[in-house]
């Protein structure tokens, strides 16, 4: 499917992902293969901050990514958490006791397209919809997105990976912005202006990929 047949939403739909380059590896055995504090802070700031102080963002994720977040840290605060699962037929299904504590912050959906339509049309308080993983959800989201926020990670460390982004699809649909100003503009409502970070044995940079015309 080309970008011209993509579904268009009025709100920005933006996957945000940290990848080991050059193969775009994102996970191993259900977990992140690294622990990068500054990168986690970037993820938190970008997905939480809004241009309009009366609004919040949504974070859309697959069931496995939801379960990979330690229970005491979920739902992710200050954001509407949307969890995808095909095994449940309804938009909202029975919530667990733990989720009931923060009912307004968690909803469930059985289709990515349905979730995006719902967030786009029925949630006036949502500014951006961030897709936060994992591999299956990222790789089925590209037709709905105008941009990707990719943290490109390089390291000498030998890391095992079993979950990857679909590089063919990304190269077909998106191009990386060469101009740092594009990324700076996209995150201008956050404190971030420098995109290169060194943390321990890792070098990484925050990048913006834009849908090809
Ligand atoms: P996901 O988190 O993508 O969850 C997959 C599950 O989500 C499916 O089994 C299904 O649930 C549900 N689902 C997926 N797509 C849809 C859809 N279109 N409609 C409805 N439900 C859907 O799992 P992955 O295994 O692909 O990814 C997890 C890995 O990704 C982990 O290693 C994690 O650490 C990593 N990750 C990496 C990130 C990074 O930035 N590097 C960020 C986030 C995660 P059900 O089975 O219930 O039907």
Q: What number of residues does the chain have?
A: 213
On the question of pLDDT at 189 being above 80, the answer is yes
Supply the pLDDT for residue 91.
45
On the question of pLDDT at 4 being above 90, the answer is no
Classify strands 126-131 and 56-62 as parallel, antiparallel or unpaired.
parallel
For residue range 16-57, what is the model confidence (pLDDT) as tens digits? Answer: 999 999 999 999 999 999 999 999 999 999 999 999 999 999
Residue with CA nearest ligand 1 atom 4: 62
Residue with CA nearest ligand 1 atom 10: 85
Supply the pLDDT for residue 108.
86
Supply the pLDDT for residue 24.
98
| Ligand 1 atom closest to 19 (CA) | 41
For residue range 84-108, what is the model confidence (pLDDT) as tens digits? Answer: 998 865 544 444 555 555 566 888 8
Residue with CA nearest ligand 1 atom 27: 134
On the question of pLDDT at 7 being above 70, the answer is no
Residue with CA nearest ligand 1 atom 41: 26
| Ligand 1 atom closest to 111 (CA) | 19
Supply the pLDDT for residue 125.
94
Lowest-pLDDT choice from 67-76, 153-162, 183-192: 67-76
Please tell me the distance between residue 115's alpha carbon and the centre of ligand 1 in angstroms.
Answer: 15
CA distance 126 to 147: 18
Structural tokens at position 52? 């309009």
User: Which of 137, 143, 204 has the most ligand 1 atoms within 8 A of CB, as the residue to mutate?
Assistant: 137
Q: Write a three-state SS string for the chain.
A: CCHHHCCCCCCCEEEEEEEECCCCEEEECCECCCCCHHHHHHHHHHHHCCCCCCCEEEEEEEHHHHHHCCHHHCCCCCEEEEEECCCCCCCCCCCCHHHHCCHHHEEEECCHHHHHHHHHHHCCCEEEEEECCCHHHHHCCHHHCCEEEEEEEEECCCCCCCEECCHHHHHHHEEECCCHHHHHHHCCCCCCCCCEEEECCEEEEEEEEEECC
Which residues form the pocket of ligand 1, taking CB atoms under 6 Å from any ligand atom? 17-18, 26-27, 30-32, 61-65, 68, 84-87, 110-112, 132-137, 140, 163
Residue with CA nearest ligand 1 atom 15: 137
On the question of pLDDT at 133 being above 70, the answer is yes
On the question of pLDDT at 173 being above 90, the answer is yes
Residue with CA nearest ligand 1 atom 36: 134
Top pLDDT among 67 and 151 is at 151
pLDDT band at 6 (very low <50, low <70, confident <90, very high): low
Please tell me the distance between residue 66's alpha carbon and the centre of ligand 1 in angstroms.
Answer: 8
């Amino acid at each position: 499917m080309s970008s011209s047949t993509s579904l268009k939403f009025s709100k920005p739909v933006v996957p945000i992902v940290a990848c080991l380059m050059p193969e775009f590896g994102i996970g191993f055995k259900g977990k992140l293969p690294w622990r990068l504090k500054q990168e986690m802070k970037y993820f938190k700031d970008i997905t939480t901050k809004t241009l309009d102080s009366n609004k919040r963002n949504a974070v859309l994720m697959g069931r496995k990514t939801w379960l990979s977040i330690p229970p005491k840290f979920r739902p992710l605060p200050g954001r509407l958490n949307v969890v995808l699962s095909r095994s449940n037929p309804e938009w909202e299904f029975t919530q667990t006791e733990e989720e009931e504590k923060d009912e307004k912050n968690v909803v469930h959906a059985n289709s990515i397209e349905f979730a995006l339509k719902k967030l786009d049309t029925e949630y006036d308080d949502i500014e951006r919809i961030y897709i936060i993983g994992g591999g299956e959800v990222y790789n089925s989201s590209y037709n709905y997105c105008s941009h990707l926020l990719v943290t490109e990670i390089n390291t000498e460390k030998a890391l095992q990976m079993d979950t990857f982004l679909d590089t063919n699809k990304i190269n077909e649909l998106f191009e990386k912005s060469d101009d740092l100003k594009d990324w700076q503009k996209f995150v201008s409502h956050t404190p971030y202006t420098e995109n290169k970070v060194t943390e321990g044995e890792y070098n990484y940079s925050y990048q913006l990929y834009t849908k090809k015309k």
